[in-house]
Copies of this chain bind each other. A is one copy, B any other.
Amino acid sequence: MKCYSEMNRDELMSEKNVLQGKYEEFKNEGLSLDMSRGKPGSEQLDISMPMLDVLSSESDCRTDEGFDCRNYGILDGIPAVKKMFADILEVSSDEVFVGGNSSLNMMFDTISCLMTQGAPGCEPWIKQGNIKFLCPVPGYDRHFGVTEYYGIEMINVPMDSNGPDMDLVEQLVSSDEKIKGIWCVPKYANPTGITYSDEVVRRFAALKPAAKDFRIIWDNAYVIHDVADEGDKLLNLMDECKKNGTEDLPIMFTSTSKITFPGAGVAVMACSENNMKSFKERYKFQTIGYDKINQLRHLRYLKDSSGLIEYMKKHKAVIAPKFKCVLDALESEVRETGCAKWENPNGGYFVSVDVMNGTAKEVVRLCKEAGVVLTGAGATYPYGKDPDDSNIRIAPTYPSVEELEKAVKIFCVCVKLAAVNKLLG
């Protein structure tokens, strides 16, 4: 097959006819398939069922220190759980705060705290007028939702295979004190799946923001979520920051939402002593403590950071074939046409596809009519506005491989059909 851009009008018409025929066939099957959200599939959820046996009515629910996890107390988490996550995030236990069931909630609380109380020694963001946030794009819709909820202006920063465009980040951050932060998913980025290069991490650590209260929201959601046998390595931002004396810049997050159970996992934040002090000043009014029984359940089930990492191999075994299924189909069905491009991620939860400019919404619409639900086009951009109408996020984990094979075939047909229609004008 030729590249679409090299086809003449007749060739495109003939290609369109073939694609339209296939599309109608799929449509007639009356399918109902979902590649819209980064949800684990039920086979993945089954992996963690033994965790529900770990604590029983016979259990001693005390920590190593003798603290009864059934009662009130311990604001920042069971010490051994702090240690487990400190090792995963490569920080010290003192830099870790174990929260509730959702790192998104902790990020929301972080922004909320900075809005109304401000960073240490600074005015609350809400009193500083029209503040702004940098948003690497495509990015995570729920990040953008938090900043939009608080009326923070969002500025797009393009992503490439090394991470955000750091020339632009440096220029913006050093020149505009209204720019207060940046959303980052540094490993297996949502949705592109790339991992920030060492240079990008070093440049983040060396930032000289005009705003004293600039913060890097470092959402390390996929820190140990490899799909490839050889996972990516992410340089330790906190270490680099300490070399630069900028350790107050990053606020890090991760969770077990995609390790044990989404919604019934454990979320954590990690940050400098200075930042931690101000967040604890909030948390001590906000709650008496998070669910330590669930923390203990996780601890006894996963043991420690090595246990966690080993455990992820079970997930890899389930989801690697799903990623392969999507990437193989894209490779064999779409590559030659030149009408879309994508990364081959080594981990994470998504395959990000840039379809032909101006066709993303149409692809999503076509897929929906054929019974395949995708994340809304534009969702990976602030305000839901993809200026090129090009990016589509595929979430391959929730459907079975069989469903996925079917869904991705339909997707490929829709991508090509929308492109051909666009070229035909």
Contacts and interface: CB of A to CB of B under 8 A. Distances in A.
Nearest to A147: B285
B70 A264 contact: yes
Interface string A141-170: 010011011100000000000000000000
Contact size range, A? 35 or more
B70 A288 contact: no
Interface in A219-241: none
A45 interface: yes
Contacts of A306: none
* Copies in the assembly, this chain: 2
Interface in A81-136: 100-102, 104-105, 108-109, 112, 115-117, 126
Contacts of A68: 42, 45
A50 B57 contact: yes
Contacts of A287: 102, 104-105, 108
A238 to B, nearest CB: 26
Interface stretch (A242-250, A289-297, A339-347, A401-409): A289-297
A102 B288 contact: yes
Nearest to A72: B262
Contacts of A71: 39-40, 42, 45, 261-263
A379 to B, nearest CB: 14
Contacts of A58: 49
A48 B68 CA distance: 14
Interface in A4-59: 37, 39-40, 42, 45, 48-50, 52-53, 55-59
Given A52-B293, A142-B285, 9 more contacts: A37-B72, A39-B72, A104-B288, A108-B287, A149-B285, A261-B293, A263-B289, A263-B290, A291-B294
14 contacts: A39-B71, A42-B68, A45-B71, A48-B70, A53-B56, A70-B261, A70-B263, A72-B262, A72-B263, A116-B116, A262-B288, A264-B291, A264-B293, A264-B294
